[in-house]
Amino acid sequence: MAKKIVKNLGNQPLYFNLSGGRSLKIPARSQAEVEEEDVNSGEMALHQSRGNIILVDAGEEKSEGGAGAGASHPPGGRVNPQPAVSAQKEEGGED
């Protein structure tokens, strides 16, 4: 089977109990290479749905830290949402 790269987005390590009595630890803010079968397991699917882990494309792994790396992801992984009041003012929605 093919290997996939999984990234832990949290500030705490994640521990997975995989099929066949195997276990996996992904350190905080780190990546691990796992089998495709393990990525499709119920436990990893749960963490993916919660946003704790993501699958990393091979191209994204190489370009991380490059000139265009910050274009798709804000620094620190934080988004500064615009307050609803300001958005209404800009669109002329305030009476």
Higher-confidence residue: 63 or 20? 20
The fold of the 1-61 domain, in CATH, is Ribosomal Protein L9; domain 1 (3.40.5)
State the DSSP string of 16-39. Answer: EE-GGG-EEEE-TT-EEEEEHHHH
* Beta bridge pairs of residue 14: 26
Which pLDDT does position 70 carry in this prediction? 45
- pLDDT (average), residues 8-27: 94
Kindly report the pTM of this predicted structure: 0.59
Kindly indicate the confidence band of residue 19, based on its pLDDT and cuts at 50, 70 and 90: confident
